[in-house]
């Protein structure tokens, strides 16, 4: 029986990637304390959350560089941790997302506490689509230098932490080869008790339209409607798809905001630009744009989806890809290292070229018209998540890592 631990989880926008881990570790008997940006966190049942106002990041218009802001944030986080220490809190281990500088000064607060960094990615212009997205030309002159500065933050965490975790093999391999041996690949896990197929589900859209499993429903979900997650490619595929299938309903979830990649010159962002570009070629009554929606509503959409579209630059794997598969939505994704680690095309999903909207439309139409193949891919996709990405597996691996680090710290030296 593993010993109960006191754990500190640090994430600028807690819970972020740590949502399921935090709740799962708490359910296993560990005391979980979370530190996040003041006012940004949504409470999780049973988790002690500290939203320290000293951890609010600087104004986005601050002229200081990303590195300078990260150093300041590191000092702020260390100050918040020192206040926890002075109140008598000493964690057995600290897990922190390192992208914003959280880990810079943690060692000064708890010199003997194991630190586990979650750096996510080592940036490059390729990860932002240059050399991958046919719409993009040369990167801005200062982009490579900006990315190098941002990478220094994660590199410091990789070097200084007692252990380092990335969620996928691809994300680990974005780091320089000499550092990859320091990085463990542990996905944060998919809660299969919550995310599963349901034959009895029904989704009612604001228009009054009812969607049920078996209906010709195509779904797409991204935090932002942006090129990085293939929004433009999806939109270009829709005229052919709608023409070939007069009953298909397309549900697009995401904020019409810039996101991580290049912005649009259109006043209404990438959505407005694509609607203007495709004006007269789309049946807008069969395309449903939803902004941010509650998580349980998103799950319901995946459970009625006949085909879920997930396109991506060579970037971090989104939760939505695996969660949609867990809900029984067959995945149509883009070829590239992000998804090829998860999907074998024709076996547990379909892959198409990111820059080929005609191929995307053809694959979606194939799933809509061939229910046997759709059901087979849905079952195989769910099985892949069960076998490789379940929350139980993630908790086992994280628990073992944290227990081993904590035990090594408690053991007397030679």
Domains 6-189+390-410 and 203-388 share a fold: yes
Rounded to 5°, the CA angle 76-80-81 comes to 115
Q: Find residue 164's DSSP bridge partners.
A: 117, 183
pLDDT, residue 10, reads 96
389 within 8 A of 21, measured Cβ to Cβ: no
Does domain 203-388 fall under CATH 3.40.50.2000? My reply is yes
User: What is the CATH number that goes with domain 6-189+390-410?
Assistant: 3.40.50.2000
Tokens of 349: 């999903």
307 within 8 A of 328, measured Cβ to Cβ: no
Query: Mean pLDDT throughout 321-346?
Result: 97
pLDDT band at 42 (very low <50, low <70, confident <90, very high): low
Least confident window among 44-58, 88-102, 138-152: 44-58
Tokens of 58: 């600087």
Residue 142 pLDDT exceeds 80: yes
Residue 90 DSSP class = -
Question: In this predicted model, what pLDDT tens digit does every residue of 375-385 receive, in sequence order?
Answer: 999 999 999 99
pLDDT band at 40 (very low <50, low <70, confident <90, very high): very low
Listed by start position, the domains of the chain span: 6-189+390-410, 203-388
Query: Mean pLDDT throughout 64-80?
Result: 90
Q: State the DSSP string of 262-280.
A: ---SSTTHHHHHHHHHTTT
| DSSP-derived 3-state class of residue 374 | helix
Report phi then psi at 332, rounded to 5: -115, 110
């Amino acid at each position: 029986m593993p010993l109960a631990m006191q754990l500190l989880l640090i994430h600028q926008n807690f819970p972020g990637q740590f949502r399921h881990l935090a709740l799962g570790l708490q359910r296993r008997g560990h005391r979980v304390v979370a530190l996040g940006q003041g006012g940004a966190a949504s409470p999780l049942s049973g988790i002690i959350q500290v939203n320290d106002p000293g951890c609010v990041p600087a104004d986005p218009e601050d002229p200081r560089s990303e590195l300078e802001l990260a150093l300041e944030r590191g000092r702020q986080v260390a100050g918040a941790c020192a206040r926890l220490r002075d109140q008598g809190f000493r964690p057995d281990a600290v897990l922190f997302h390192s992208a914003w500088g959280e880990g810079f000064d943690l060692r000064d607060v708890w010199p003997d506490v194991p630190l586990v960094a979650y750096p996510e990615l080592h940036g490059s212009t390729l990860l932002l689509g240059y050399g991958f997205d046919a719409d993009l030309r040369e990167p801005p002159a200062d982009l490579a230098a900006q990315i190098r500065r941002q990478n220094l933050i994660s590199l410091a965490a990789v070097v200084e932490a007692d252990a380092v975790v990335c969620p996928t093999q691809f994300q680990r391999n974005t780091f320089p080869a000499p550092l990859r041996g320091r990085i463990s690949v542990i996905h944060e896990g998919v809660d299969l008790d919550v995310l599963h197929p349901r034959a009895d589900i029904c989704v009612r859209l604001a228009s009054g339209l009812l969607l049920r499993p078996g209906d010709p429903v195509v779904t797409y979900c991204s935090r932002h409607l942006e090129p990085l997650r293939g929004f433009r490619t999806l939109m270009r595929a829709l005229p052919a798809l709608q023409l070939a299938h007069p009953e298909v309903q397309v549900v697009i979830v995401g904020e019409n905001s810039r996101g991580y990649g290049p912005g649009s010159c259109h006043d209404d962002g990438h959505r407005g630009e694509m609607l203007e570009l495709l004006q007269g070629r789309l049946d807008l009554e069969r395309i449903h744009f939803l902004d941010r929606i509650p998580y349980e509503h998103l799950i319901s959409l995946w459970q009625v989806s006949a085909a879920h579209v997930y396109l991506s630059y060579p970037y971090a794997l989104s939760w939505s890809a695996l969660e949609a598969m867990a809900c029984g939505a067959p995945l149509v994704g883009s070829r590239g290292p992000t998804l090829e680690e998860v999907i074998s095309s024709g076996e547990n999903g379909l892959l198409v070229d990111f820059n080929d909207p005609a191929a995307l439309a053809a694959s979606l139409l194939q799933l809509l018209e061939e229910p046997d193949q759709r059901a087979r891919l849905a079952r195989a996709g769910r099985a892949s998540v069960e076998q490789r990405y379940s929350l139980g597996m993630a908790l086992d691996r994280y628990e073992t890592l944290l227990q081993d680090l904590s035990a090594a710290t408690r053991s007397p030296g030679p």
